[in-house]
Amino acid sequence: MLLNYTTLEVDVAIIKYNAGNICSVANAVRRLGIEPNITDKADEISKADCVLFPGQGEAAYTMQHLRNSGLDRLIKELRQPVLGICIGMQLMCRHSEEGNTDCLGIFPADVKRFCPTLHSQKIPHMGWNSLHNLKSPLYEGVNEGDFVYFIHSFYVPQNELSVADCDYIEPFCASMHRDNYYATQFHPEKSGRVGEQIIHNFIEIARPNHD
Amino acid sequence: MSLAKRIIPCLDVKDGQTVKGTNFVNLRYAGDPVELGKAYSEQNADELVFLDITASYEGRKTFTNMVQRVAAELSIPFTVGGGINELADVDTMLNAGADKVSINSAALRNPQLINEIACHFGSQVCVVAIDAKETDGHWQCYINGGRVPTDRNLFDWAREVEQRGAGEILFTSMNHDGVKHGFANEALARLADMLSIPVIASGGAGKMEDFRDVFKQGKADAALAASVFHYGEIGISQLKSYLSQEGISVRL
């Protein structure tokens, strides 16, 4: 059983913007006993102990929204732990083939479109697939081969910042970590107990007085 | 390893209560769809489908409240269906926290609805359910819970549904549904070969071998069932161990 926090212990901000699944992420944080602050206000995001950057949507459109609202600069300047989820992870890269979009450039990686080689390789990559080569505190208590829920048509190729890999059509990067920035291509908020563990681990990394 | 084949229990909900009986000995509130959904989630069900079979306005509100509770309490993806006739209904369900919506008769009456859902919310949200019956080798689509035949052929309709932007097809064979002698594997394999979106097989699950066959012969991406799970005839954990032994990739 995971720790159940009291609300006062940790200030979790969820960046509110025009992307889907923000509710699902908020629900997942609530299941850990924390009421998250869903906000687009710069001062509230900046002072949070940790920041969740969820997403479901189209790269060019969501990136444009981030630029228009100034959230693009804010996200790049954050110093507390930040977790990008799905399109959140893709937008943290340099560039995406989706809509030929220049992204935030936090991770020096480029986002590609899946190219199926067999009829049975359907796009989007949707459903439960397994994680391998786990190497971050984010995956404390998660086992090699554990399954998580994916839904995406674009992917980040394997790279040196990868802290978890997955295999669909070819091996690809399922999760990245650099400095205070963490990201998952999959949806921890929809990945059952394994996903709960990962969100819990992220909050543990961020928790004040964490030793 | 590869993408896991999905096992999906389907819950029929009327006035906020699950309709089919349950055989979970340790479940105090088997009639509560949220509690039942949780029990399935704990047994490693990969997704859930909640079908609203209420007709009344009050019933719809109860269902929406239930969807909110499911979204708050469950950490696996779920689809809702029944009574979704227009874009506003989809919006209500997604706002309540559903991951996907399933449309059936509404899609056959107004195929453009598929395009609208895909365009506004993305293909991944749009599951098109097709009920069809085979007579003399011809598969005919039905609406209104299988009561009213249409002039549409299963395979033509499935292709159109894909072209219009559906994210998945949930195919129920009316010949096999409730009979418990296996899924419509021939028709399913034909759909899988023809389409490039996932196919969820429904109708006919009776024993564990039926699930093996629907994945191996029917080439389905997911299998949906109701009564074999609700009445405890097949446990989901037990089913997945069996499928894994049979060489099928499942999430254990």
Catalytic residue (choose from B46, B52, B131, B221): B131
User: What CATH number labels B6-239?
Assistant: 3.20.20.70
| pLDDT for residue B25 is more than 50 | no
Chain B partners of A23 at a C-beta cutoff of 8 Å? 71, 95, 97
Instruction: Output the 3-class SS for chain B.
Output: CCCCCEEEEEEEEECCEECCCCCCCCCCCCCCHHHHHHHHHHCCCCCEEEEECCCCHHHHHHHHHHHHHHHHHCCCCEEEECCCCCHHHHHHHHHHCCCEEEECHHHHHCCHHHHHHHHHHCHHHEEEEEEEEEECCEEEEEECCCCEEEEEEHHHHHHHHHHCCCCEEEEEECCCCCCCCCCCHHHHHHHHHHCCCCEEEECCCCCHHHHHHHHHCCCCCEEEECHHHHCCCCCHHHHHHHHHHCCCCCCC
Predicted confidence at residue B195, as pLDDT, reads: 96
Among B233, B247, B243, B168, residue whose Cα is nearest residue B211: B243
Query: Could you give the C-alpha distances from B80 to A8, B52, B128, in angstroms and in order?
Result: 35, 8, 11
Q: How far apart are CA A151 and CA A190, in angstroms?
A: 10
Q: Write out chain B residues lying below 8 Å of A168, CB-based.
A: 2-3
CA–CA min distance B232, chain A (Å): 22
Is the Cβ pair A122, B221 closer than 8 Å?
Answer: yes
Of all residues in chain A, the one with the smallest CA distance to B123 is A124
In tens, the pLDDT along B119-169 reads 888 899 999 999 999 999 999 999 998 899 999 999 999 999 999 999 999
A95 is catalytic: no
pLDDT digits (tens, 9 = 90+) for A49-100: 999 999 877 889 889 999 999 999 999 999 999 999 999 999 999 999 999 9
Of A122, A126, A145, which is closest to B1 when you measure between CB atoms? A145
Mean pLDDT along residues B49-62: 85
CB atoms within 10 A of CB B243: 22
- For A130, the closest of B1, B121, B198 (CB atoms) is B1
Low-confidence residues in chain A, pLDDT < 50: 1, 7, 211
Instruction: Using DSSP bridges, classify how beta strands A162-168 and A95-96 pair: parallel, antiparallel or unpaired.
Output: unpaired
Residue B183 to residue B206: CA distance in whole angstroms: 9
User: pLDDT, tens digit, for every residue of B5-19?
Assistant: 999 999 999 888 888
Q: Across the interface, which of A120, A147, A192 has its CB nearest the CB of B75?
A: A192
Distance between CA B39 and CA B56 in Å, rounded?
28
Using the predicted structure, report yes or no on whether residue B241 has a pLDDT greater than 50: yes
CATH of domain A7-206: 3.40.50.880
Site from B101, B251, B252 to mutate, A interface, most A CB atoms within 10 angstroms:
B251
Given the residues A125, A152, A187, A200, the one annotated as active site = A187
Active site residue B131: yes
Task: Map out the domains of chain B as residue ranges.
Answer: 6-239
Residues 6+ apart with CB under 8 A from A174: A131, A148, A150, A162, A164, A165, A166, A184, A185, A186
pLDDT score of A1:
46
Q: Tell me if B11 sits within 8 A of B227, measured CB to CB.
A: no
Task: Delimit the domains of chain A by residue range.
Answer: 7-206
Q: Give residue for tokens 């977790």.
A: A83
Beta bridge partners of A167: A171
Q: Which residues of B touch A24 (CB under 8 A)?
A: 71, 97, 99
Identify all chain A residues contacting B92, using CB atoms and an 8 Å cutoff. Answer: none
Is B6 within 8 Å of A149 when comparing Cβ atoms?
Answer: no
Q: Do B41 and B56 meet the contact criterion of CB atoms below 8 Å apart? A: no
For chain B, the average pLDDT equals: 92
- Look at residues B143, B150, B158, B152 and name the one whose alpha carbon lies nearest to residue B190: B158
Closest approach of B198 to chain A, Cα-based (Å): 7
User: In chain B, which residues touch A (CB < 8 A)?
Assistant: 1-4, 6, 41, 44, 46, 71-73, 75-77, 94-95, 97, 99, 121-124, 167-168, 192-193, 196-198, 219, 221-222, 251-252
- Which residue matches tokens 């790049």? A76
Give residue B1's pLDDT band: very low, low, confident or very high (50, 70, 90). Answer: low
% of chain B at pLDDT higher than 70: 95
Query: CA A94 → CA A111, A155, B139, B180, B194, distances in Å?
Result: 8, 13, 49, 52, 37
Known catalytic residue at A187: yes
Interface of A with B (CB under 8 A): 20, 23-24, 27-28, 30-31, 56-57, 119-120, 122-130, 145, 147, 149, 151, 167-168, 189-193, 195-196
Is pLDDT at B83 greater than 70 in this prediction?
A: yes
Cis omega (within 30 of 0) for bond into A124? yes
Is the pLDDT reported for residue B27 higher than 70?
no
CA angle B23, B45, A128 (to 5 degrees): 175
User: Could you say which of B3, B72, B75 has the minimum Cβ distance to residue A168?
Assistant: B3
Is residue A160 within 8 A of residue A171, CB to CB? The reply is no
Is A128 within 8 Å of B4 when comparing Cβ atoms? yes
Q: What is the spatial distance between Cα B151 and Cα B140, in angstroms, rounded to a whole number?
A: 7
Average pLDDT, chain A: 92
pLDDT at A50 (0 to 100): 97
Tokens for B43?
A: 């047994």
Give the per-residue pLDDT at A187.
Answer: 97
Of the partner residues A27, A149, A167, the one whose CB lies closest to the CB of residue B77: A149
Q: What does the block give as tokens for B241?
A: 């161990």
